[in-house]
Each structure stands twice: as structure tokens, then as C-alpha cells.
Structure 1
Amino acid sequence: MSAPETDPPERPYTRLTRPYALTGGRTEPPDASLAIEALVEMSWRGYDARDDIRFEKAEILDLTQRTISVAEVAAHLDVPLGVARVLVGDLAEEGLVIIHPPPDAETGGAQDPKLLEKVLHGLRTL
């Protein structure tokens, strides 16, 4: 007798839109220097506008009620990193989120291993 087949875990919904359709085909955010390890948090303007925003951008605003990396946003939304960068960049340009660049981004130094470990740990826990 063979083992019963197991169904894959159900997802709350299936995204019907192709990832790059979410960005209008754009592959770069307004600020091309937006790093995947940059931390993102909702601004006060984002809190005020939250009820007027829909779909993925609303999901990002919900996620950024606590500080989260761009890479974690991509993982939560189940979209490619490039798509998450564009969407987060759009929200930042609208003043709805605040981007905190990685500590070494301003100095041009090597990546901080502790920060990268924190981002990696966050992605693994998803």
C-alpha cells in the first residue's frame, strides 16, 4: 500500500496578476540605490493614507507598521525582490514609508554581517 499523497499547504489566495504587471513593467525603483537590506517603516503620512491605498501597496503599509527589510517585504508578498523594490520605492517617493539605508550605505564600506544575518534570519522564519 502506498503512502497517501499530501496536498501542498493552502495559501490564503493566489495572486492572479503577473509580478511585473504590479510595477507597470518597471524593474528599477525611483531610487536605484534602494538596497534589499534597507529597512522600511510606515510614515505618519502612510498611517493617514492607509485606508485609501489598495492591493500590494496596502499590504506593504500593513507590513511596515513595524520596521522590516525590503527583502522581507518581497518574501511576505511572494514577489521577486525587484518588484518589492519598485513598490517600496514608489511608496517612499509618495512619502508613505520611510527608508532607512543600511548603516554602511552612507560610507560605502563593506556590508555589516550582523545586519545581513538579521535579514537572513527574518527570511528563514517566514
Structure 2
Amino acid sequence: MGTPEHPETEANLVRPYTLTAGRTHTDVSLPLEAPVQTERRAQPNQWPVSDPRGLIVELCQVGPSIAEISARLDLPLGVARVLVGDLVASGYLRVRPTLTESSTGDERRELIGRTLRGLRALG
């Protein structure tokens, strides 16, 4: 469905749109740096092998940020946010709180490390 010069480009742009049904926002608060974790009842194999929702659930067993999910699965950031928001709303994932005034130094260093890993993966 792409152009003769770039046959895959157009197809790659259509797929994210279909994954989110054209939605670009989610009702779930999802800071880019917030760690996302799989809930115990979620099973990544309930989706077809190539479905990004199953890949997201599997990846979230290690608590990546939204930015890391986007980079590791090669999904546009907006698409990753919408899909993660859907999975959170459905009870498959949960968003861990980000830093507060009472956060420890270790928690702050962990956030900086996750943010740097996400930025490196995007680049």
C-alpha cells in the first residue's frame, strides 16, 4: 500500500492508527517516565503473537517506562501510551507512582536510570 520508492512506509503508518482505532489520548494518567508493571492475572499469550498488547504485557514484567516500551517495541510514543492506557484500564497493567517529596535517593536514582535507558533506546 506504500509508494514504489517506499512500499513499507505507508503501511507502517496505517498500522498504529488501526491499533488505537485512531485514538491519540487515553483517560489514564501516564507520565512518560512512570514505571508500568504487569498485574499477576495478565497473560501475554492471550493475544496473537504479533499483537503489541501481548508484547507490552510481557515487557512490563520488568517495569519499563512508557518511553522504554515505545522504543523497545518500535511503536510511536502516542500509540504506546494509548495501548498501555487501555491495558491499565482493563486491569492487565498498573502504573507505579513516580517520585514524590518523600521519595528516597535510591528511588530518584532508579528514575534517572530508567529515563536515561529510555532516551538511549529512542536514539
Q: Which residue of 2 aligns with 1:25?
A: 22
Read off the aligned partner of 2:67 and give its amino acid letter: A
Q: Is the 8 A contact 1:34 1:101 kept in 2?
A: no
Match of 1:65 among 26, 38, 61: 61
For structure 1, list consecutive stretches of 5 or more residues without a partner in the other structure.
1-13
Greater Rg, structure 1 or structure 2? 1
For structure 2, list consecutive stretches of 5 or more residues without a partner in the other structure.
1-10
Equivalenced residue count is: 105
Residue 16 of structure 1 and its aligned partner are, at CA, apart by 7.9
1:6-85 matched pairs, under 5 angstroms: 17-31=14-28, 33-47=29-43, 50-54=44-48, 55-85=51-81
Read off the aligned partner of 2:18 and give its amino acid letter: A
- Go from structure 1 to structure 2 and tell me whether the alpha carbon gap of 1:17 and 1:62 turns closer, same or farther (over 3 Å shift): farther
Q: Kindly report the root-mean-square deviation, in angstroms, between the aligned alpha carbons of the 2 structures.
A: 2.6
TM-score by length of 1: 0.70
**1:86 partnered with 2:82:** yes
Residue 56 of structure 1 and its aligned partner are, at CA, apart by 0.5
The CA deviation string for residues 52-94 of structure 1, in whole angstroms up to 9 with x for no partner, is 1230001101111111111100001111111101000111111
Residue 100 of structure 1 and its aligned partner are, at CA, apart by 0.8
* Identical counterparts, % of pairs: 43
Structure 1 stretches of 4+ moved >4 Å: 14-17
Read off the aligned partner of 1:51 and give its amino acid letter: N
TM-score by length of 2: 0.71
Match of 1:120 among 103, 116, 119: 116
- Go from structure 1 to structure 2 and tell me whether the alpha carbon gap of 1:89 and 1:15 turns closer, same or farther (over 3 Å shift): same
